[in-house]
Structure 1
Amino acid sequence: METKVLIVGAGLSGIMAARTLVERGVTDILLVEKSRSVGGRLATRRIGEGKADHGAQFFTVRSQKLEKEVESWLQEGWVRRWFGDAHPRYTGTEGMNALAKNLAEGLPVRLNTKTLSISEHPDGCELNLEGGGVIKADHVLITAPAPQAAELVGMEAPVTFHPCLVGLLTLEGPSRLPAPGHLDGVCLPHGVERIVDHMAKGISSTPVLSVYMTGEWSEEHFSESDEKVLARITDLVRPFWGEGNESKGQVKRWRYAEAAEVIDQPFLEAGNRTVLCGDAFLTKSDDSGKTRFESAYLSGRSAGEFLADRVAGIPE
């Protein structure tokens, strides 16, 4: 199989890069994704009758480019304002993964396809797949977390990432979290970064909590069994749902959740035909110093524009 531009990873950066290429007239593209769904860390899980976001919970808007696009998403009914005044937190009306699926609608995506390595040659690139398949492309964009992307092309990782352990807890009755169903900051037990009640958030018909642990706590306990991790998390946050309100749960493991440091450019050339981008790659005007939804969006857009010009033969 051959294509003009191959995008590895169908998370937000990959989706936005693909949309940008198509908007610029480059339609001979393919996204390959190792998971069974697009979205990456825009992840939503059904749990019984309930539902929970367990990656990104919301996003904020600081750039004019994203602000303009969010206006169209609001009109489509894909997102809504959740809470916050100075910088409103937006969230997917049906969960964050539904937003990713809406954005990927109509794009050529190949799911359940794991990339093992990528080699670059003077006349193109070859993507070696698990199971022995090969895809050839003129150009490759890798949007996986930087350590994984670097491994695919045999280079040193430009940044390191913190992990994140997330407890997904289904309750028998309502939690004690106040509206809007979100808590973070100093009011939480040591090791807990954020708690979200998805019934209060408005995407679940039953009370389901997502409990995010800090990078330091997650690193310390990442090698433990799910059962042990879940017991630790439950003990820490039990006061937030009250006596007699029983829970059952599961654990989601994000090995690469947040970059420990960021790269001060929206994408990185890893060869003459290979480009890396993602949420750890920040635009020059981004002074937040943090990986987030918006940095992934802007990085994907920038990489897509760069590749569109390269395909068209426009000098850099």
Structure 2
Amino acid sequence: MSEQAPIVIIGAGLSGIMAALTLKEKGCQNIILVEKSRSVGGRMATRRIEKGKVDHGAQFFTVRTKKFQAFVDEWLEKGSVKHWFGNDYQRYMSVDGMNAFAKKLAEDISVRLQTRITVIKKNATGYTLTTGEGETIDARAVIVTAPAPQAKTLLENNDLQVDAKVLQKLDAIVFQPCFVGLFHLQQPTNLPNNGHLDSELPDGVLRIVDHEKKGISEMPTISVYMTGDWSKAHDDRSDEAILEKIKQVTNAYLDVDSVISSQLKKWRYAEAVQFLREPFLNTNLEHPLLVAGDAFLHPQDIANRTRLESAFISGVTVGEELEILLK
């Protein structure tokens, strides 16, 4: 099977979604967003547990730039997001879970889910992308928004001959993992009324979130985020052992006897602790092939950390650049 598509974006997290929306706004209509998972959104992830919900990736987003604020104001007006907590520095949340918001953003984009791109090769008019199932997609331009280690694997094949300096920049991006315990409880928690706690926690615990108090779950469902160091130190354990350890270290906040069910989510590329001060990378090949994502920070970014806003800015900026290159 061969499918013709002028522009292919690999990865349907916020960077990929915003790159596609930016290109569409500028008149590019034939765009395919390719995602290996079952849903768009990347770390804008929500899971159902019986009648409850848990956000188990990004819990909220903040705003530091005028460009992002303009979009957030529009989302607020439409009722897609709302202020969650923080009066001096506002945190915003999706009203129905972070993944529902990602799906809303991507609803007018052509998306192929559960499709993993394994090889990118040159052809006469651009690139041929091969999926894990052996299908091919031809594109005259490609944007890769997968995490840097995965992007590097795609770009370092001999057929593309990407400059070593580009690969070195990707290699310089270093991610920390994050293990998240998801718990369904019989009884309400003693967490703050807004459902969020990220201070004075036991060693190894990054944050705890009660989604019933957050307002997206009909029953007590809890996400417990472990630090990168803790997650790396426990990587060789089984999921069951990791969940038991999480319950032990958070027993002051979670009634273990109240736990009905538990699940573990392992984010291998949760946060870039070493990132680039460039909003995207251009491979400078004959046909456009660019790399973007939340680990590609704008030089004027004052936050010095990866987050949803950095993913947004990178996606918009790489979309703007590709539209120029295609003229």
Q: Deviations over 1:189-225 (max 9, x none)?
A: 1000000000000000000110000000111112311
Q: Distance in 2 between matches of 1:225 and 1:119?
A: 38
Matching residue within 297, 304, 317 for 1:289? 304
SS at match of 1:289: coil
TM-score, normalised to structure 1, is: 0.96
Distance 1:18 1:174, change over 3 A: same
> Which residue type is aligned with residue 274 of structure 1?
L
> Which residue type is aligned with residue 301 of structure 1?
V
Matched, 1:258 2:271: yes
TM-score, normalised to structure 2, is: 0.92
Q: Distance in 1 between matches of 2:254 and 2:16?
A: 38
Q: Deviations over 1:92-136 (max 9, x none)?
A: 000000110110011111111111121234631111110111111
Matching residue within 98, 101, 104 for 2:100? 98
Q: Distance in 2 between matches of 1:145 and 1:250?
A: 24
Q: Distance in 2 between matches of 1:243 and 1:261?
A: 36
Corresponding residue of 2:192: 178
Equivalences, count: 311
Q: Distance in 2 between matches of 1:149 and 1:243?
A: 41
Matching residue within 141, 166, 174 for 2:143? 141
Q: After alignment, is 234-243 or 125-134 more displaced?
A: 234-243
SS at match of 1:228: helix
How far residue 270 of structure 1 moved from its aligned partner, in angstroms, is 2.6
Q: Distance in 1 between matches of 2:244 and 2:258?
A: 16
- Structure 1 residues 46-85: aligned runs within 5 Å: 46-85=48-87
Q: 2:247, 2:256 within 8 Å by CA — same for their partners in 1?
A: no
Q: Distance in 1 between matches of 2:133 and 2:309?
A: 35
> Which residue type is aligned with residue 262 of structure 2?
G
Matching residue within 184, 187, 205 for 2:218? 205
Matched, 1:169 2:183: yes
Corresponding residue of 1:8: 10
Matched, 1:160 2:196: no
> Which residue type is aligned with residue 54 of structure 1?
H
Matching residue within 110, 113, 117 for 2:112? 110
Q: Distance in 2 between matches of 1:148 and 1:246?
A: 36
Q: Distance in 2 between matches of 1:28 and 1:44?
A: 29
Q: What is the RMSD of the two structures over their aligned residues, measured on CA atoms?
A: 1.2
> Which residue type is aligned with residue 171 of structure 1?
L
How far residue 158 of structure 1 moved from its aligned partner, in angstroms, is 3.5
> Which residue type is aligned with residue 203 of structure 2?
H
Q: After alignment, is 205-214 or 157-166 more displaced?
A: 157-166
> Which residue type is aligned with residue 179 of structure 2?
L
Identity fraction in percent: 49
Q: Distance in 2 between matches of 1:22 and 1:34?
A: 22
Q: Distance in 2 between matches of 1:80 and 1:160?
A: 32
> Which residue type is aligned with residue 293 of structure 1?
L
Distance 1:243 1:104, change over 3 A: closer
Q: Which runs of 5+ in 1 are unaligned?
A: none
Distance 1:244 1:4, change over 3 A: closer
Q: After alignment, is 121-130 or 161-170 more displaced?
A: 121-130
Q: Which runs of 5+ in 2 are unaligned?
A: 157-166
Distance 1:220 1:122, change over 3 A: farther
